[in-house]
Amino acid sequence: MTIFQFFLWSLLKVAVVTVVMLVGVAYTVLLERKLVGRIQNRWGPSRVGPFGLLQPLVDGAKSFLKEDIIPAGVYRPLYLAAPIISLGCALISIGVVPFGEPHIGPGGLDLFEISNINVGLLVILGVTSIGVYGIALAGWSSNNKYSLLGSLRSSAQLISYELALGLSLVGVVLRAGSLNLRVIVEQQATRGMATWNIFGGFQFVAFFIYLMAAYAETNRSPFDLPEAESELTGGYHTEYSSMKFAMFFMAEYANMITVGCVATLLFLGGWTSPLGDLMPAPQNILAHALFPIFWFVFKVFCFLFLYVWVRGTLPRFRYDQLMNFGWCYLMPLAMLNIVATSLWLAYH
């Protein structure tokens, strides 16, 4: 395979994954609107297309066609760059996520992963951490006190919960002995659910910490303090309109999907079947390739369902409660989990 062909196939993989990711973002919004509607005893979107399935297309067109207003007092370079940074970081992080078992295509390329690198988990943590710069710059460049307060809240919130989130994953890395996401999944793939990290690896405490930190990282209820409509009008995106506002919205839901993918890979066995060897692998080549992807997508869907369920159930925290919960409870619990996992591995 020539360099040109390698580049072409790699570009095709990036394009396919990006399109699938953006479609997933659009229909995650629809899923949330439908589920929250049911929780609140109303229908949700139901007019555009059968069961409202074409609603995301209309919402996307509406965002493009709305008037794009730029306030007079903003610092234009950073004001325009902020949503691009947020969405760009949200989309880049999916590049190291494996979606299924290794299947080698033309030129030795893995069909179900854009890039298989040994420090994939570290790359995801690094890229998602940079995403907060988009929110911080949006709040500062908007020249609005509500936007600035929202961005400062988001920065403090991300720093606080990023530590707990990173520490919660140390136990999983210790068990696998690698930061490679495929290695972590293969280490859980021997006996189905019995060897998943959340059950067989005794990392259920780590999963709880990861779950709470993920809610805060993605600014989701009950930790959506950077937006807090009742306090800050709209927080960091108060002065944004049209497609620039939609880019922040897309970045939030893309981060939700990425967080769900990481939880699936690290705690829920990735693309492996819950029944393990009890469920025979399909003999058809196409089914053998797609069956693991089905399990992966199903687990991510369950994680997103839990996201929406929590939003429709729990009220927003006060800001002091948010900080207190992160520093006084999640951080010590994450460190205790590392010590307990280390002792357990040393004993065995």
The tokens describing 46, both together, are: 């139901």
Confirm whether 30 is domain-assigned.
no
Interval 155-191: pLDDT, tens: 888 888 888 999 999 999 998 888 999 999 988 877 7
User: Average pLDDT, stretch 335-342?
Assistant: 93
Question: What does the pLDDT read at residue 110?
Answer: 72
How far does Cα 185 stand from its chain's mean position? 18
Confirm whether 101 is domain-assigned.
yes
Confirm whether 20 is domain-assigned.
no
Tell me how far CA of residue 264 lies from CA of 10, 124, 159, 172, 319, in angstroms: 25, 14, 24, 12, 29
Question: What does the pLDDT read at residue 219?
Answer: 82
User: Average pLDDT, stretch 21-38?
Assistant: 92
Q: Which residue carries 């990173």 as its tokens?
A: 166
Question: What does the pLDDT read at residue 287?
Answer: 63
Mean of per-residue pLDDT scores for the chain: 86
Question: What does the pLDDT read at residue 286?
Answer: 62
Q: Which residue carries 């959340």 as its tokens?
A: 198
Task: Look at 259 and 226; give whichever has higher pLDDT.
Answer: 259
Task: Look at 106 and 12; give whichever has higher pLDDT.
Answer: 12
Interval 137-161: pLDDT, tens: 888 898 888 888 888 888 888 888 8
User: Average pLDDT, stretch 32-47?
Assistant: 90
Confirm whether 23 is domain-assigned.
no
Question: What does the pLDDT read at residue 318?
Answer: 84
In the structure, what pLDDT confidence band is assigned to residue 335 with cuts at 50, 70 and 90?
A: very high
The CB density around residue 64, as the number of other CB atoms within 10 Å, is: 10
Confirm whether 333 is domain-assigned.
yes
Interval 109-132: pLDDT, tens: 777 788 888 888 999 999 988 888
Question: What does the pLDDT read at residue 262?
Answer: 93
**Could you tell me the residue range of the domain that residue 120 belongs to?**
69-347
Distance CA 324, CA 315 (A): 17
In the structure, what pLDDT confidence band is assigned to residue 107 with cuts at 50, 70 and 90?
A: low
Give the number of domains in the chain: 1
Cβ atoms of residues 326 and 160 within 8 Å: yes
Question: Whole-model pTM above 0.85?
Answer: yes
Confirm whether 209 is domain-assigned.
yes
Question: What does the pLDDT read at residue 277?
Answer: 61
Question: What does the pLDDT read at residue 271?
Answer: 87
The CB density around residue 28, as the number of other CB atoms within 10 Å, is: 23
Confirm whether 39 is domain-assigned.
no
Interval 264-311: pLDDT, tens: 999 998 888 887 665 566 666 666 677 888 889 999 999 999 989 998
Distance CA 234, CA 241 (A): 12
Confirm whether 301 is domain-assigned.
yes
Question: What does the pLDDT read at residue 229?
Answer: 64
